[in-house]
Structure 1
Amino acid sequence: MKEFISVYEENKADIEKFIITTLKNYGSIISMESSDYKKLFDNFPSLELVYVTDLDFKQLEANIFRKKKELSAKGKNRAYVNSKMIQKDERFSISAPYISSATGHTCITVMKQEGKKNIFLDFRLSALLGRLGLVELNPDFNAFTKFFYKSVGFSLMAFAFFAVLYALFGYAKGIFIDGSFSLDTLFKPIVSLTLGLAIFDLAKTILEREVFFKNYSKEDVDATILTKFSIAIIIALSIEALIVVFKITLHDYSQMIYALYLIIGIALIIVSLGIYSFLSKRSQMK
């Protein structure tokens, strides 16, 4: 889906011009209300939803889908949709891509003002790009990909919860059952909790970006994700290095060189992450 957003942004001007010009050629859209906007749905395969509001953005009628109506939507306040709109001329405004609460699909909304009414039209982004020949769609493969990402994402979340439970169980067992309070009892759960947090954050990102498509900002999200995940790993390794140093100090100083190797490795990761963050920010500024 990220690729769809990129394609849309690259061809945004042409897509918007096509939609606005076509809608202008139809004349009055309100006049199609009696037929549930059948002509629009027939000519725009990517059109998913039509609804009408007054100038205060209170919905005047049901949500009109291609094959059904949603009467419960009548009377809703649609001002939040208007806040996403970018005015293109005196009558037309178009939103950036977002998730439709009505369909759950990534769409763009076109608003046309006719008299004292605003007409909102939701176009499914993937279908729109496919119709214009900007992308090649394979519904079966897209469905499989979405299913795979969803399975992996929720599986990672499950492992993250197991890591947290393991940490809590290990700590409780060491204190209340074994009756011992050692460095392992204190620090091992912290390592597990840190890894659980890192895994959960990775799973959340996969689900948001590849399944639920929550965020379409132009920021370098990949760099942010990698940085957050790397920091969690660095924290876990640093705690492990601290445990190793304490153990060696208490038992065998001759093994201290291995602790040094681990600390040097962590330092190299930190330096590498710093260089990566610097280069990422510099590339964004260009």
Structure 2
Amino acid sequence: MKEYLEVYFQNQEKIENFLQESLLKLGELKRLREQNFKEIFSMFPSLELVYIINKDTKLQISPNFYKNNSIDKSAQNISREYLISKLHFKENSSVAFSTPYVSSATRNSCVTVSVKEGNYILFFDFKIESLLERLNLIELNKPFHTVTKTFYTIAGYSMFLLSIFMVCYSMYDFIHSFMVKGIFNLDTIFKPIIALTLGVAIFDLAKTILEQEVYFKSYSKNSKVETKMITKFLISIIIALSIEALMVVFKIAINDYDKMINALYLITGISLILIALSIFIYLTKKNKHLI
């Protein structure tokens, strides 16, 4: 939702001009009540709710008209003084716009356009998500979005389960080796630590995927989030490899000192990854300051 609001405020003038010109071109809007505003609902897929208020009495004189052709008469004859007090019509204009808010009637984030006609004020609630999509300010293909969301959900939760399995298995292997087999050596200590570190890395990656692609779909590139995700994942991998390298050094030093060059290769590779990560973080911060 935060991202939708950012896109909306960045294009607020364009959106308001579009709505104002489109509504005023329809002529007298009050006459559309005869057909329950079906014409205007068909013209604006983002329009969710229409109702009329008497400017003098401040009472809602019409029921709530919804886009699915349903009508709610319980809202009729209710005082809407609080709404009228918040209206700020521009000079020489009969149209006023609200700030984005969550509608109590539709439970969706919307913006309300108020049009003054004689003693009446017509209120039109537009769903922000659909409005931004209609104006090509965001891309939202619902079938494709559903497929990708399903895929990311399955992949994300599978990674969650895998990370939990790795944590549980590492603890089981450690306890079983120590308590049952009576083995207590470097492998017994370091292998569970490596598995735990990789489990944390996979868990963080799964959490980021679910946050960005399932529970909050991101429609714009957020370099800060992407950088944070890559950095955290690589740091976890570097830690796991460093522990593995330390274990290899100890094992070679104890059992086969002639193969120490292999440990050097592993440590050199880890150092190169660390240098690459440092350069990546530096360039990312540099580009951010330039922007």
TM range, smaller chain: 0.5 to 0.7
**Shift in Å, 1:141:** 2.3
Match of 1:94 among 90, 99, 116: 99
> Relative to structure 2, which stretch is displaced further, 229-238 or 201-210?
201-210
In the alignment, the residues of structure 2 paired with residue 14 and residue 89 of structure 1 have an alpha-carbon distance, to the nearest angstrom, of 16
CA deviation vs aligned residue, 1:188-246 (integer Å, no higher than 9, x gap)? 11111111111111111111111111778955211111001000101100110111011
Label 1:64 to 1:196 Cα distance change in 2 as closer, same or farther (>3 A).
farther
2:246 is matched with which residue? 242
Percent identity over the alignment is 45
Structure 1: any 5+ residue segments left out of the alignment?
Answer: 52-62, 71-86
2:273 is matched with which residue? 269
Q: Is the 8 A contact 1:48 1:124 kept in 2?
A: no
TM-score by length of 2: 0.67
2:257 maps to a residue whose letter is Y
Q: Aligned runs of 1:214-253 on 2, under 5 Å?
A: 220-253=224-257
Q: Aligned runs of 1:76-225 on 2, under 5 Å?
A: 92-95=97-100, 108-110=109-111, 121=125, 123-125=127-129, 127-133=130-136, 138-213=141-216, 220-225=224-229
Q: Is the 8 A contact 1:109 1:120 kept in 2?
A: no
TM-score by length of 1: 0.68
1:44 is matched with which residue? 44
Label 1:254 to 1:37 Cα distance change in 2 as closer, same or farther (>3 A).
farther
In the alignment, the residues of structure 1 paired with residue 140 and residue 10 of structure 2 have an alpha-carbon distance, to the nearest angstrom, of 18
CA deviation vs aligned residue, 1:89-132 (integer Å, no higher than 9, x gap)? 79534349x9x9x76xxx75325689xxxx8946152x324423
> Relative to structure 2, which stretch is displaced further, 137-146 or 36-45?
36-45
In the alignment, the residues of structure 1 paired with residue 65 and residue 178 of structure 2 have an alpha-carbon distance, to the nearest angstrom, of 62
Q: Is the 8 A contact 2:177 2:183 kept in 1?
A: yes
1:282 maps to a residue whose letter is K
Label 1:175 to 1:17 Cα distance change in 2 as closer, same or farther (>3 A).
farther
CA deviation vs aligned residue, 1:162-212 (integer Å, no higher than 9, x gap)? 111111111111221112221111111111111111111111111111111
* RMSD value, Cα: 4.6
**Shift in Å, 1:142:** 2.3
Q: Is the 8 A contact 1:108 1:124 kept in 2?
A: yes
